[in-house]
Amino acid sequence: MKKTELQTPAILVDLDILDYNIKRFQSLCNINGKQLWPMIKTHKSTEIVKMQEAAGSTGFVCGTLDECEGICELGVKNIMYAYPVASDVSIQRVIELAKKCHFIARIDNYDGAKMLNEAAKSAGVKVNYTIIIDCGFHRFGISPDKVDVFADSLKEFKALVLKGISTHPGNVYSAIKHEDIQQYIDQEKSAIKKAVDSLKAAGYTLELITSGSTPTFIGSVSDENINVFHPGNYVFNDNIQMSTNTAKESECALSVYATVISYPSDDVFICDAGAKCLGLDQGAHGNTAIKGYGYVKGHPELTVYSLSEEVAKFHIKGSTTLKVGDKVEIIPNHTCSSANLTSYLIGCRGDTVERLIEIDMRGNSTTKNFK
């Protein structure tokens, strides 16, 4: 089947680019003697996990416990959950995971640690964890200069096993041009170094020193301290990565395929893909450099300036060759959001449709409570 025969809107993934992106980041880790544990919240897909594993990934970081459980069923050994847990249901799920795989929780506060320790003690299991370090994102994490005191405060929790430290330089998404990225890489490396030095001086052994984001990856992958990287978005890339030259258009694997369905005025087109495919994301974390809701491939004269649920409006600057009935491919601003809006991606190679890729780890497991 040819791409042009598809019903629109459709969320496409270019299988060659996906493969290239997966192998490129893996080989950079291999060359630098690092492990790649991709963050899978970007794709939430068993099939893409298998591609990453085949390329050499030795573990995975998850954005939800559903993702953790999904890949645990696949037999993945090293599974890290990115965020602290503090509800009974989540803690019980962590305990079950700790029984089945080399599971690593993340901790950044005493109260949550206490709750997890008590549950683990009652269940008779040990739960591995890393301490989250704040490298300037100011979301989760302990300041590197306080991490030794924090680690000491957790020593009383005998059912918890300290494996190392983790950070995520998400503040890099405030960068609006390529040159801005270096300062976030510097912050990431320096926060990690401070935390490592301080914990080692206090007598701790750190097996896992983990960090990662797509924009900082190239600059951090040779860092002397970090030994596990967990970028996520790199598999697809998107218009946000293009805005800082982190990725080229030819490295963007995911796009929304749409048909131009109307032409209400000389400088406006409407297509049949809206917010339910493209997502409403603009720049993440305060980035105001992105104009509109995606990049229309091959049509720099178009801005996706307005979204309804099922349709989008393009503004035309100057002239265009586009006409009603034409197909367009739009690179979403944030592909992690777009992939979460569909049950499957349509895998293409060039202009040929090859296979469906199921997005099978979406949502939350509320339904499990009713079984």
For ligand PLP, the binding residues (CB under 6 A) are: 39, 42, 61, 82, 168, 170, 212-214, 230-234
Whichever of 9 and 212 has its CB closer to ligand PLP, that residue is 212
Pairing state between β 327-331 and 254-265: antiparallel
Rounded to a whole number of angstroms, the minimum distance from the CB of residue 29 to ligand PLP is: 13
Minimum Å gap between C-beta 347 and ligand PLP is 21
Q: What is the DSSP string of 332-359?
A: -S-HHHHHTT-SEEEEEETTEEEEEEE-
Burial (0-12, 13-18, 19+ Cβ within 10 Å), 177: exposed
Tokens of 203: 């007598």
Contact (Cβ atoms closer than 8 angstroms) between residue 18 and residue 40:
no
Query: Could you give the C-alpha distances from 245 to 177, 180, 355, in angstroms and in order?
Result: 7, 11, 30
Tell the smallest beta-carbon distance from residue 132 to ligand PLP (Å): 8
CA 164 to CA 232: how far, in whole Å?
21
Q: How many helices (H) and strands (E) does the chain have?
A: 11, 17
Q: Residue 168 has which token pair?
A: 């995520």
Q: Sign of the C-alpha dihedral, residues 297, 298, 300, 301?
A: negative
Nearer to ligand PLP by Cβ, of 80 and 199: the residue is 80
> Toward ligand PLP, which CB reaches closer, 172 or 270?
172
Closest contact distance (angstroms) between CB of 174 and ligand PLP is 12
**Other CB atoms closer than 10 Å to residue 248's CB: what's the count?**
10
Cβ nearer to ligand PLP, comparing 23 with 349: 23
Work out whether the CA dihedral 21, 26, 31, 32 comes out positive or negative.
positive
Name the residue nearer to ligand PLP (CB basis): 41 or 93.
41
CB 37 within 8 A of CB 60: yes
Considering beta carbons, is residue 229 or 269 the nearer one to ligand PLP?
Answer: 229
Cα–Cα distance measured from residue 19 to residue 250, given in angstroms and rounded to the nearest whole number = 13
Q: Using the minimum distance from each CB to ligand PLP, give the nearer residue, 337 or 365.
A: 337
Decide if 311 contacts 9 (C-beta within 8 A). Answer: no
Q: In the complex with ligand PLP, which residue's Cβ is closer, 231 or 292? A: 231
Q: What are phi and psi of 125, to 5 degrees?
A: -125, 160
**Per-residue DSSP letter, 16:** H
Nearest Cα to Cα of residue 206 among 133, 110, 112, 100: 133
Q: What sign results for the dihedral spanned by CA atoms 89, 90, 93, 94?
A: negative
Residue type present at position 311: V
The distance of closest approach from Cβ of residue 211 to ligand PLP in the complex, given in angstroms and rounded to an integer, is 8
Whose Cβ is closer to ligand PLP: residue 18's or residue 61's?
61
CB of 322 to ligand PLP, least distance (A): 32
CB of 150: closest distance to ligand PLP in angstroms?
18
Least distance CB 217 / ligand PLP (angstroms): 7
Least distance between ligand PLP and beta carbon 359 (Å):
16
**Cβ proximity of 292 and 281 under 8 Å:** no
The residue among 123 and 284 lying less far from ligand PLP, judged by its C-beta, is 284
Q: How far is the CB of 141 from ligand PLP (least distance, A)?
A: 10
